[in-house]
Structure 1
Amino acid sequence: MSARLELPQVHALGPARLIAGLDRFQRLDLAAHTRVHPPLPRPTRDNLLDLAERVDLRGRGGAGFPFARKARSALAAADRSGTRPVIVVNGAEGEPPSAKDRMLLARAPHLVLDGACLAAAAFGAEEIVIGVAAGSPGEVCVPAALDERDLPCPARTVCLPERFVSGESGALIRGVNGFAVLPPAVKARAAEGGTAGVRQRPTLLSNAETWAQLAVAARLGPEAYAAVGTIAEPGTVLLTVNRPGAGPLVVEAPFGTGLGEVLSACGLRPGEGVLVGGYHGGWLDPVDAVGAPLSRAGLAERGGSLGAGAIVALPAATCPLGEIARVATWLASQSAGQCGPCKRGLPDAAEALATLATGADGPAALEDLRRALGGARDGGACSHPDGTARFVLSALEVFARDLEIHVAGPGCGRPVLGVLPLPRDEGTSLEVDWSRCAGHGLCGVLAPGLVRLGPHGFPSSTSIPVAPWQEHDARRAVNQCPALALRMRRPERASDRPR
C-alpha cells in the first residue's frame, strides 16, 4: 500500500463506538462490521428525525449545524416540489491536519454507509452520493464497501480534487454535478434544492462522521447514546491529534473530555500553544489548553472552536511565526480566487507574514498583515477568507511574545521545523532563478496578483505558490520573461514516485 493510502491509527478515551473493532481489524469489511456492530434498526421518517433531535446530533465537519433541522428543511422542499431528496456523504477532507473522515471511510466504511442508508430508507431518497478526495483511501474502500451490501437506493462515489476548498459543501455539490469544484459565488442551501442541490434535488449533506454518529445513535437509542458526554453535548467526538515525527492519531473521546487529558494520552504537551479546529480554527495558549473541555461550548468560552476536531500542539523548538507563515501561504494558494479577499487579501497576508517571520521590516509588515486580514474577514464569497483570518489572528494573540521579537529585530532564531502538517505535494509554484533575474519587473505587470516586486524591482520571493486560477498569469510571466528567469514547478504525480 502506498504512502498516500496509509490508514490512520486510532485510540479510544472511554467507550469505543465509532472505532469499535478497529483494535482487532485493520479494516471492517461487511462480515467484520456485522460481528462488531449489532443489527441496524429501521426507523421511520418521524422516528429518525426525533432521534436526531433528542441526541442533538450536529454536523461534525466544522459548522456544527443541527442535523434534524437540515433534514426537515430538505424533506419540506422535497414535499413541495414532489421530488425525492439526495443523500450526500462529504468525505472530501481537504484539511491536512484532519484525518477522521479519511479514517472512517478507509477503516469503517460500513458505519458511515449505515447512517446514510438509514436516512435514505426513512426519507425515500433517490440516490446516495459519497464524495471522496482523489488519491485517498476512500477512493478504493468506499466502492468496495458499496459492492458488499444491499442498498435502499442507487449509490455512487465521486472523486474530487485534493484541495482545501473541495470539502466546502457548495463546492462538493458543484463537483458532483459536473462543474468546477469551487464554492458557488452566491450562497444557497443545498437542502432547498434548485441550483444548490444535486441535480436540482433537495440535498441532505453531512460529513462522514455525522453519518456514522447517526448509525451509532440508532443502535444505542437516545438514553444510551447520552450516557457519555455532557448534558448539552451528549455522545463522543472524533479528534485528529497530530504528532511530530509520526502519523496522525484519530482519538474518540466523550464530549467534555479535557484537552490536556487528550494530549497526555497521545504523549504530547501543550508546548507554546495548541491549535484546535484545524486551519479554520484557533490557537489556545498552553494554560487555557490544559484546562479546556473539548466541547463546542467549553472551547467557545476560551475563544476557541472545535471545528473539525483537528489538534496540533506546537513545540518550543520551532518558530511559531514561521510555522504560521507556511500555512498561510498554502491557504492563500488553496482559495477559489472568486472574490477580493481571496485574490488579494490572503496573498497579501501571507506575504506580510513571511516578511515578519524573517524579522525584516517588522512594524510595516505587521501593519500590512493586519490591514490584509481586516479586509479578508466577513467579506468573502465563502468562509475560506474568514476562517484563514481567524487562524492567523488567534496566532498573533497566543504568540504575542514571539511576535514582539520578530517585529523588533531579526527574529527569534529558531528554525521552522514544519510541525504544522501540509501536503507532501504543496502544489504548483512559480520559481525565480536569481542568477538570471535582471529586475525588469515585467512579471509583476503580467501577474500582478501573483508576483510582488520589492523596492528594487525584483520579485520579493523566489518560490511563489500558484493557485489554479492563477496559472494563466503565471504561464504568461514565464513565457515573456526577457531574462528567462522564471519556471513553473508542478507537484510530483503519484505515478512518478518510486514504489
Structure 2
Amino acid sequence: MNAVTRPALGCVGQPRLLAGLDTAAYLDRVGHLTVHGALPPYPADALVELAEGIDLRGRGGAGFPFARKLRAVARSARAAEGRTAVVVNGSEGEPSCLKDTALLLHVPHLVLDGALLTAAALRAEDVVVGVTREDVEQSLRAAVAERGPAGSRIRVVRLPERFVTGEGTSLVRGLDGGVARPSGQKVRTSERGLGGLPTLLSNTETYAQLAVAARLGAAGYRSAGLPTEPGTILLTVGGSTVVEVPTGTSLAYVLDLCGSAPGQGVLVGGYHGRWLDPGAARSADLSRTSLAALGAVLGAGAVLPLPEDTCPAGEVARVARWMADESAGQCGPCVRGLPSLAGAVEDLVRGGGRAAWEAVDARMRAVRGRGACSHPDGTSSFVASALAVFPDEFRDHALGSGCGRRVLGALPLPADENPERLVVDWTLCKGHGLCVDLLPDIVRLDADGYPAQGVMPVPGRLRPKALRAVRRCPALALRIQE
C-alpha cells in the first residue's frame, strides 16, 4: 500500500519521538541510547501511575486510556494463571497515515523500549509486533538483532497490507496464524487476545510515547503541550509528511509549516475521520477538546487538506470506492452495503439528480451500526461529513453541471503497480465525447471537445468501463495499452 513511500519528517518545537533525526537518518542501538539514555525499570503499579499522570491515550484512533488497558490486562491475568502478551500494532493500513512507519523506519528502538517496558510490568511472555511493509519488517528485525538476548522474546510478524488488518481482533487473528479479518465478536483483547491470553494491544506511537515518558517522568513529560492534554503528537500531513507537534498547536500553523493551507477543507482523522470547512480548520487547535467542539477527532493523526484545484465530490467518490474494495468480505454491510454506497456516490457525481442523492442517504443508513467492525460506520461517516462540508459541489454534480475541476488524487490512495492505460489515436479521434460519459474520472475534454490527454492511467476497478468506452468509440480511436 505505502510500500515505497518514505515520509518526510518535521517538528514544531523540541522533538521527543523524532529526537536525533536532525543529524542521523536512523538511530541504531548506540545512537538511540546516546540520544535518549538508558530506560529505567518500572514496576506495574509505577507504570500505571506514570500513564495516568500523563493521561497517555492510545494513538491508533480510539484514544483509549493506556492506564485502563494496563489495569484490565493485569486483572484478566489473575484469572489466566498470570500469563499475558503484549502486541504492537504497526500495520498502518491506510494510505493517508505514515507516522508509525516513520517511527519503525527511523527510531524502532523507542517503540521496542515501550513494548518491553510494558511486558516487564505485566510479566508478559510474548511481545509481538505486527507490520505490513517489507522495509518496516527489515528495520525492526535489525533493531531486534541489535538487542542480543534481550530481543529474543520479540517476534516480528508481517501481515497482508489491508485497511482492516489493523483492527484489533483482525490483527490478533493474523498474528495467531489465521486470516487477518475482524472477528465480529465483542471480546476485548485485554480479556482474550494473542493465543487466548490477556493481551495489551496498542499502536507504535503509544509505546514510543511511554518510552519517552519513562525517561522524563510525569512532570518532565507534561512540560510540553497542554496542561489537560500533555505531550506531543505525531501527524501525517497530506499523506507524505510526518510532523511532531505539542498538543494545542494550531492546525493552520502546521499546514503552513508543511507548505499547505486549509484549501477547500481539511479531512482530520483519515478515511474514518471528519471534514472541517476552511473556517473551522483555521480555528482548530490540535487537541481532543478543540476538535471535539468541531465534531472531529484526531484519530490516527492523518491531516489531509484539499487543494482548491481539485474536485471534492470526485475525490470523495474515489475514496469511497477504495474503502468498499478494502472490505473484509465477511458481513453484509461490507460485502454489499459499501459497494452500493460507493456506487451511489459515483452516480451522484455523474449527475444522478435527486434520486442519486436519496440513494446515498439510504445506503449510509443501511450500513450504520451493522458491521462486524467499525469499517461500515467509518466509511458512511466519511461520506456524510463530505456531504455536509461540500453541499454545493455535490448538488452541482447531482444536477449535471459539475464543478469544472478535475480529480487530482489529492486524497492519497495506493497506486496500481502496473496500471493499464487508455490511449487515444489522434489520427482517428473525431471528438464525439462518448468516452467521457463512461469514464468521467479518467477522461476530460479540452475546450474543443477532444480528450485533454492522449494517455490516461486506468485503475483496475474501472477497466470494464474502459473496455466499454473502447467498444463504443464511433471512430475506433481508443485502445487499452498494457
SS at match of 1:317: coil
Q: Which residue of 2 aligns with 1:374?
A: 365
Query: Residues 390-436 of structure 1, C-alpha deviation per residue, up to 9 Å, x if partnerless?
Result: 1111111111111121122231121100110001238999x9xxxxx
SS at match of 1:20: coil
Residues 304, 99 of structure 1: CA spacing in aligned structure 2 closer, same or farther, 3 A cutoff?
A: same
1:370–1:156 distance in 2 versus 1, CA, 3 Å:
same
Q: Does 1:192 find its partner at 2:183?
A: no
Q: Contact (CA 8 Å) 1:92, 1:131: kept in 2 or not?
A: yes
Aligned twin of 2:10: 11
- Measure how far apart 1:389 and its partner are: 1.1
Distance 1:463 1:250 in 2: 28
Counterpart mapping for 1:128-207 below 5 A: 128-135=127-134, 137-150=135-148, 151=150, 154-193=153-192, 197-207=193-203
Amino acid at match of 1:286: P
> How far apart, in 1, do the equivalents of 2:418 and 2:299 lie?
25
* Equivalent position SS for 1:192: coil
Change (3 A) 1:396 1:234: same
- Whether the aligned pair in 1 keeps the contact of 2:273 and 2:296 (CA below 8 Å) is yes
Aligned to 2:313: 321
In 2, distance between residues paired with 1:229 and 1:20?
16
Map 1:5-404; keep pairs closer than 5 Å.
Answer: 5-135=4-134, 137-150=135-148, 151=150, 154-193=153-192, 197-242=193-238, 248-358=240-350, 360-404=351-395
Identity across the alignment (%): 52
Deviation of residue 296 (structure 1)? 1.4
Query: Which residue of the partner structure matches residue 444 of structure 2?
Result: none
Task: Check whether the contact 2:419–2:459 (CA below 8 A) recurs between aligned residues.
Answer: no
One-letter amino acid of the counterpart of residue 166, structure 2: G
CA contact (8 A) 2:232 2:247 kept: yes
For residue 3 of structure 2, give the secondary structure of its aligned residue in structure 1.
helix
Q: Provide closer, same or farther for how the CA distance between residues 423 and 254 of structure 1 changes in structure 2, counting only shifts above 3 A.
A: same
Tell me if structure 2 keeps the 8 A contact 1:120–1:152. Answer: no
Structure 2 SS opposite 1:190: coil
Structure 1 residue 357 displacement after superposition = 1.8
Q: Per-residue displacement from partner, 1:230-275 (whole Å, max 9, x unpaired)?
A: 12211000000016xxxx1100001111101110111111100000
Question: Which region of structure 1 is more displaced relative to structure 2, 57-66 or 397-406?
Answer: 397-406
Q: Assess if the C-alpha contact under 8 Å between 2:416 and 2:460 holds in 1.
A: no
SS class of match (1:4): coil
Residue of structure 2 aligned with 1:420, choices 411, 429, 435: 411
Query: In the alignment, is the contact (CA less than 8 A) between 1:319 and 1:412 conserved in 2?
Result: yes
- Quote how far apart the aligned CAs of 1:463 are: 7.0
**Against the structure 1 CA distance between its residues 153 and 187, is the aligned structure 2 distance closer, same or farther, given a 3 Å change threshold?**
farther
SS in 1 for 2:266: strand
Q: Deviations over 1:357-402 (max 9, x none)?
A: 22x2221111111100111112211000111111111111111111
**Pairs within 5 Å for 1:475-490:** none
Partners of 1:323 and 1:419 within 8 A in 2: yes
Task: In structure 2, list runs of 5 or more residues that go unmatched.
Answer: 423-457, 465-481
Structure 1 stretches lacking a partner, 5+ long: 432-461, 467-473, 475-491, 493-499
CA-CA distance at 1:4 after TM superposition: 3.1
User: TM-score, structure 2 length as denominator?
Assistant: 0.85
Q: Which residue of 2 aligns with 1:438?
A: none
Change (3 A) 1:426 1:202: farther
State the match for 1:410 in structure 2.
401
* SS of match in other structure, 2:237: strand
Equivalent residue letter for 2:342 = A
- What is the letter of the counterpart of residue 349 of structure 2? A
Distance 2:131 2:120 in 1: 22
1:471 aligned partner: none
Q: Distance in 1 between matches of 2:417 and 2:388?
A: 27
Whether contact under 8 Å (2:87, 2:202) holds in the other structure is yes
- 2:110·2:211 contact (CA, 8 Å) conserved in 1? yes
CA 236–427 in structure 1, closer or farther in 2 if over 3 Å, else same: farther
Q: What's the offset of the Cα at 1:23?
A: 1.1
Tell whether the 8 Å contact from 2:144 to 2:151 is kept in structure 1 after alignment: no
Aligned-partner Cα distance in 2 for 1:331–1:59: 24
Q: Is the 8 A contact 2:39 2:215 kept in 1?
A: yes
- Hey, what's the Cα distance between the residues in 2 that align with 1:351 and 1:411? 17
Q: Matches of 2:369 and 2:417 in 1, distance apart? A: 27
CA shift, 1:152, in A, is 7.1
Q: 1:6 to 1:312 in 2, by over 3 A?
A: closer
Cα pair distance change 1:463/1:29, threshold 3 Å: closer
- Whichever residue aligns with residue 375 of structure 1, its letter is A
